[in-house]
Amino acid sequence: MAQKAVVPAGPDPQRQRVPRPVPDPRPPAPDPRSSSVRRCWGMGTGRHYASIGALLTAASALATIPVLEMGINDDWSYAYIAREFAARGHFVYTGWANTMVGVQAVWASMFIRLFGFSFTLVRLSTLPFAVGCAMLLYRLARHAGLSPPFALFGTLSITLSPVFIPMSASFMTDVPGFFFWLACVACGVKAANAGGRTAACGWMAAAAAAGVAGGTVRQVVWVVPLLVLPMAAWIRKKHGREGVAGAAAVLWGASALASALCFLWFQAQPYTVPGADTGAFVPSLEVAQEEVESALQLGVACLLFLLPVLSLYFSGWRDSLRRPLALGLGLGISGAMLGALWFFGDGLLLGNIVTAHGMLSPETELLGSKPEILPAAVRALLGVAMLGGAGVTAVALFQRVGGGGKTLPSPRLFALLYAPAALIYTLAILYRAVNDWILLDRYVIPLLPMAAIPLLWHYQQRMRRTPPVWSWMVLGLFGFYGVATTHDYMAAARARLAAASAVTAAGVPRTQVTAGLEYDAWTELEQSGHVNDEGIRNPPGAYRPQEGRRYPVSPPYWFWEETPGVEPRYLVVYSRLPALGDAPFPTARYQTWLPPFHREVFTQMAPAEKR
């Protein structure tokens, strides 16, 4: 007789309740081995995303209508260097700023030799560098693990920024210097990831060449290869790839030597202006306060220009309410920064490119009052948006990045190669802010990728697979403002030039006409070959003090001390000045894209007793 099977005590294993997995609210991560995914995430449409970024960057610069036979901001000095290099074959400096220009001037001189000199041509020579920045930013974002939509968003959040567009439509050194910085980091990423030693050494050599070339444009770029090369070699060793320490050491030494020789050569050139005086730096409570204030201004400027990226995180505002500690931390830090600036008497805007009155502050480029473009209500709204964006972003950063298994790579490699140079750069500009009293919003451009790319990666991994519509709208609004404010500055400059040309056409010497920073500077350069900057040490006695000089208005225009060759008898102004009389020349009218849409510049005369 067969025995009856004994059923073990306890629940049946086959009938146990298995806990239901909590579904991931995000779409599943794509399998990178799938051919369709490769086409979508990199090999196919990814190229189209890169092309879109490059085309929009170029279109934004061209939309400003940069046709103007006069300088913009400081680029008259760099245009003069490029023109003289094309004519003489060597560099001729002007006593203005302490930028070497280098490769940028050589690049522009090739176009000058082909087509002849014009400010418009020289200005357009910056466009390839701007497009190159877009391409490199996109590739760096893709290497950091961003999908094509997020890589494009990150690229455009920088190249369509109101602080980048004016630089891409000018002959300023900011965009070319940024291009070489990005190129050096991108080559470092390639070197760290290269499979063989030969390829790695080739990419390291390219990184060294890009860094040295970029330093001849803006000297601060020289520090980038000195940090990227050893970091790339260390990353390769850490991940068990073929070592390239010897090649990295040789290239590091060559980069350092080339940078030092270029620096010494530049310091020995006539009419160069040295950098900050290290002997003037004496640690004190006042210096510490200035450093804190400058750091706050720099941080708030970064928050402002990163607002399109911060706006992404508003999609999780409901989660923010359930995390009051993180929300309070984000709001508290950003609120303390804004409150400290208010305590110091500084506004939300750092100044120079993005000001309440458009590009450049009132009476910087021309005498007279400029209309307010960003009124107090708009600035307050921007401050509230920055507070909210910082708050919800802080909440999201406290949440663990999920996704398991098949996720995109982290931006750790990008951060390791980019962050050290960004830190040194930040310390350098804070040091200069105290010693030279110069801290401008366009200095934050190289810092933006260091924050934008990791924030976008975190959002992509934690919240959504594509940027929301409203963030594209914020990005488009920032881009439109950047184009419009640059266009309006160009339009005003054309009106200033037309008004001054009407005076000189009547037989008045150009040296008796003052029409603002760029016009007067070019007059002085054509007269004496340099401006009258008190920082000039070589040749000795080049600076001529202007004590006792008579001016038609009080206080005098700040730039007249730099231009002793200009005797201001006829003055082009934004608004009529009571101390001056009207000149018998027509008003120059121009139209703008930002209100007020119809504006004009006036020509006035100095009183007879002040001529």
Read off the pLDDT band of 325 (50, 70, 90): low
Residue 422 shares a structural domain with residue 467: yes
Region of poorest pLDDT, from 12-16, 79-83, 385-389: 12-16
Helix (H) / strand (E) containing 288: helix 285-305
Residue 14 covered by a domain: no
As for how many domains the chain has, the answer is 3
The pLDDT value given to residue 3: 46
The pLDDT value given to residue 342: 67
CA angle 481, 50, 57 (to 5 degrees): 25
- For residue 45, the Cα-to-chain-centroid distance in whole angstroms is 28
Quote the DSSP letter at residue 590.
E
Q: Are 366 and 516 in contact (CB under 8 A)?
A: yes
Residue 273 covered by a domain: no
Please give the Cα distance from 147 to 357 (Å, whole number): 38
- What average pLDDT does the structure give for the chain? 87
pLDDT tops 70 at residue 566 = yes
Residue 33 covered by a domain: no
pLDDT mean over 513-526: 97
pLDDT tops 50 at residue 29 = no
Residue 477 shares a structural domain with residue 511: no
Tens of pLDDT, residue by residue over 484-505, are 999 999 999 999 999 999 999 9
Tens of pLDDT, residue by residue over 38-63, are 443 333 456 799 999 999 999 999 99
Q: Taking the CB of residue 344, how many other CB atoms lie within 10 A of it?
A: 13
| Cross-strand pairs, 514 | 571
Residue 516 shares a structural domain with residue 408: no
Task: Tell me the three state secondary structure of residue 573.
Answer: strand
Q: Which of 483, 574, 368, 489 lies closest to 71 in space, CA to CA?
A: 489
Tell whether omega for the bond before 28 is within 30 degrees of 0, i.e. cis: no
pLDDT tops 80 at residue 365 = yes
Read off the pLDDT band of 383 (50, 70, 90): confident
The pLDDT value given to residue 316: 61
pLDDT tops 50 at residue 8 = no
- Write the burial class of residue 220 (CB in 10 Å: 0-12 exposed, 13-18 middle, 19+ buried): buried
The pLDDT value given to residue 162: 97
Residue 237 shares a structural domain with residue 285: no
Tens of pLDDT, residue by residue over 263-316, are 999 999 999 987 655 445 566 777 777 888 888 889 889 999 999 999 998 876
Please give the Cα distance from 303 to 220 (Å, whole number): 23
Residue 36 covered by a domain: no
Read off the pLDDT band of 390 (50, 70, 90): confident
Radius of gyration of the chain (CA): 28
Token duo for residue 57: 């960057």
User: Which of 464, 482, 500 is where one domain is finished?
Assistant: 482
Residue 404 shares a structural domain with residue 497: no
Residue 92 shares a structural domain with residue 238: yes
Residue 388 shares a structural domain with residue 460: yes
User: Which of 482, 510, 531 is where one domain is finished?
Assistant: 482
Please give the Cα distance from 322 to 606 (Å, whole number): 66
Within 282-375, residue ranges assigned H as helices are 285-305, 307-310, 317-321, 324-344
Percent of the chain having pLDDT more than 70?
85
Task: Tell me the three state secondary structure of residue 183.
Answer: helix
Residue 401 shares a structural domain with residue 513: no
The pLDDT value given to residue 319: 60
The whole domain housing 605 covers 485-610
At residue 238, what is the residue type? K
User: Which of 233, 267, 301 is where one domain is finished?
Assistant: 267
Q: Which residue has the higher pLDDT, 544 or 134?
A: 134
Please give the Cα distance from 353 to 171 (Å, whole number): 14
At residue 526, what is the residue type? E
